[in-house]
């Protein structure tokens, strides 16, 4: 893509409510445009990042044999009346009527809908366990939508639902998902800490939030920093290894405000290992047994032919929130650097251009074609402006690698630079192999 062709409508005058870095940066680099309070259009640059995040989330769900499907955004009120949540959910639920006057709603989550799908088809323990998931827009009429994509009314979520015969089996599904979440966040270049959490309107008695550290987060958190030393690669997806993993994580103190206990924290964590900061909740998992299956009559025949309510859990990742969270975690001193796995482009070519000399642009175009042939996702900055402005702009866009075609380049060698480190003069062949790495 040529930068001059990229649809990147930059918001110059930031609105007063854009208080945090990610919100400001997403507006300044034309990633999103507000449509109304808490509702955004995702423009090409922002959409590309979100799709990359979505794909990594999908791959890690598929890796644990969760099956992708798609449920609608609009749901009927009937199933919510069956579960008893129609009244409980209150004003956060956007309620609508169709032309026949039927009560509908824009789904804030899908426990009821998936239970309805499941009960109509699965009847025997032989078909268990099952994990189903979808990646779909949700709507919550948040009282104070804020911080850009962090707390929206309309947001994009991966939500998965597990179905098991017994509580014991269900906890194994929970552990599988717990591990899958840690791997997902690691691939996204983020350090997420699992924290025991309250269950709120989803319900149940076992729940963890996955939180990444950021001063601008909404949750106050307390943790033992040695939790970051746990190495995921030493665990396998066997039952015993996963239950060991859960034990190892629970050995280190970590809690949000709601569950925090000052005395316990001071007793179990030395002062110099204590983290007291804010964090962003990027995922939340729940085990709630038969909270939905019982009132909704979602029954399974067990081995003896007895009908029992299926045991369920639900597992959410805030896909659109993660775009903002990744910025909060990686934006320092006015320089953004996307983790390589989710950067909107792999590399940007920045030629020094002026009216009288188009040599650099021509060289840059050749490099561009070569890299495209290798399936490298490359942006060419063909805009006629001075280099210092260009560098400032790319410090914000945050593409992790730059190829600079300017005064320092030689006939067949160009400056190659990873953001935040020194550049080196390399041949195109060397640049290609570095990028492939
Ligand atoms: C789990 C999946 C649930 O809804 N039901 C299905 C369960 N959990 S949750 O914690 O309420 O949400 C899951 C994740 O979605 C993100 N999220 C939001 N993102 C942007 N704006 C919002 N208003 C918003 N609300 C929730 C969070 O990342 C959360 O962890």
- Identify which of 42, 136, 157 to mutate to test ligand 1's pocket (most ligand atoms within 8 A of the CB): 157
pLDDT of residue 420: 87
Tell me which of 411 and 286 has the higher pLDDT: 286
Q: Are 381 and 412 in contact (CB under 8 A)?
A: no
CATH 3.30.930.10 in the chain, residue ranges: 9-336
24 contacts: CB under 8 Å, gap ≥ 6: 14, 18
pTM for this one? 0.96
Nearest atom within ligand 1 for CA of residue 283:
30
- Interval between CA 229 and ligand 1 midpoint (Å): 27
- Interval between CA 30 and ligand 1 midpoint (Å): 25
Domain at 9-336, CATH class: alpha beta
pLDDT (average), residues 172-184: 97
pLDDT, tens digit (0-9, with 9 covering 90-100), for 221-280: 999 999 999 999 999 989 999 999 999 999 999 999 888 999 999 999 999 999 999 999
Q: Is 314 in the pocket of ligand 1 (CB under 6 A)?
A: yes
Tokens of 195: 């924290």
Atom 10 of ligand 1, residue of closest alpha carbon: 284
- Interval between CA 281 and ligand 1 midpoint (Å): 8
- Interval between CA 166 and ligand 1 midpoint (Å): 26
Per the listing, tokens 């999908």 go with: 58
Q: Is 281 in the pocket of ligand 1 (CB under 6 A)?
A: yes
Atom 2 of ligand 1, residue of closest alpha carbon: 316
Q: How many residues does the chain have?
A: 437
pLDDT of residue 357: 76
Distance CA 217, CA 190 (A): 14
Confidence of residue 33 (pLDDT cuts 50, 70, 90): very high
Residue 203 Cα to chain centre, angstroms: 23
Q: Is 82 in the pocket of ligand 1 (CB under 6 A)?
A: no
Nearest atom within ligand 1 for CA of residue 140:
23
CATH 3.40.50.800 in the chain, residue ranges: 347-436
Confidence of residue 11 (pLDDT cuts 50, 70, 90): confident
- Interval between CA 151 and ligand 1 midpoint (Å): 9
Vertex 222, ends 217 and 227: CA angle to 5°?
105
pLDDT, tens digit (0-9, with 9 covering 90-100), for 185-212: 999 999 999 998 888 888 888 999 999 9
| CATH 3.40.50.800, applies to 347-436 | yes
Distance CA 263, CA 269 (A): 10
Q: Is 316 in the pocket of ligand 1 (CB under 6 A)?
A: yes
Q: Is 318 in the pocket of ligand 1 (CB under 6 A)?
A: yes
Distance CA 80, CA 85 (A): 5
pLDDT of residue 12: 74
Residues linked to residue 425 through DSSP beta bridges, in sequence order:
415
- Interval between CA 91 and ligand 1 midpoint (Å): 16
Atom 15 of ligand 1, residue of closest alpha carbon: 318
């Amino acid at each position: 893509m040529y930068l001059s062709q990229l649809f990147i409508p930059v918001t110059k005058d930031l609105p007063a409510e854009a208080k945090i870095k990610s919100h400001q940066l997403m507006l300044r680099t034309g990633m999103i445009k507000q449509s109304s309070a808490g509702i955004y259009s995702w423009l090409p640059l922002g959409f590309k990042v979100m799709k990359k995040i979505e794909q990594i989330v999908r791959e890690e769900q598929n890796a644990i044999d969760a099956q992708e499907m798609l449920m609608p955004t609009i749901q009927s009120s009937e199933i919510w009346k069956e579960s008893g949540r129609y009244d409980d959910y209150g004003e956060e639920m956007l309620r609508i009527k169709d032309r026949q006057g039927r009560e509908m709603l824009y789904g804030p989550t899908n426990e009821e809908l998936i239970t309805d799908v499941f009960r109509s088809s699965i009847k025997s323990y032989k078909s268990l366990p099952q994990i189903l998931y979808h990646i779909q827009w949700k709507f919550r009429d948040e009282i104070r939508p804020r911080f850009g994509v962090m707390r929206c009314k309309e947001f994009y979520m991966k939500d998965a639902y597990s179905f098991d015969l017994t509580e014991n089996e269900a906890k194994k599904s929970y552990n599988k998902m717990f591990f899958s979440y840690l791997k997902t966040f690691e691939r996204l270049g983020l350090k997420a800490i699992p924290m025991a959490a309250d269950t709120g309107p989803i319900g149940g008695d076992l729940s963890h939030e996955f939180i990444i550290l950021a001063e601008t987060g909404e949750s106050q958190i307390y943790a033992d920093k040695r939790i970051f030393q746990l190495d995921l690669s030493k665990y396998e997806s066997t039952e015993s290894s996963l239950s060991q993993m859960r034990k190892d994580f629970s050995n280190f103190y970590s809690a949000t405000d709601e569950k925090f206990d000052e005395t316990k924290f001071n007793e179990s964590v030395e002062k110099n290992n204590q983290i007291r900061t804010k964090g962003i909740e990027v995922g939340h998992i729940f085990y709630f047994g038969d909270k939905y299956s019982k009132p909704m009559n979602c029954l399974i025949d067990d081995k003896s032919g007895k009908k029992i309510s299926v045991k369920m859990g639900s597992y959410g990742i805030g896909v659109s929130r993660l775009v903002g969270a990744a910025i909060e975690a990686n934006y320092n001193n006015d320089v953004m650097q996307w983790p390589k796995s989710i950067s909107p482009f792999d590399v940007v070519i920045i030629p020094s251009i002026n009216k009288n000399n188009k040599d650099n642009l021509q060289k840059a175009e050749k490099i561009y074609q070569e890299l495209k042939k290798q399936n490298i996702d490359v942006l060419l900055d063909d805009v006629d402006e001075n280099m210092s402005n260009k560098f400032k702009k790319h410090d914000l866009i945050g593409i992790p690698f730059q190829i600079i075609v300017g005064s320092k380049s030689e006939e067949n060698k160009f400056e190659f630079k990873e953001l935040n480190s020194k550049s080196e003069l390399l041949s195109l062949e060397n640049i290609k192999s570095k990028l492939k790495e």
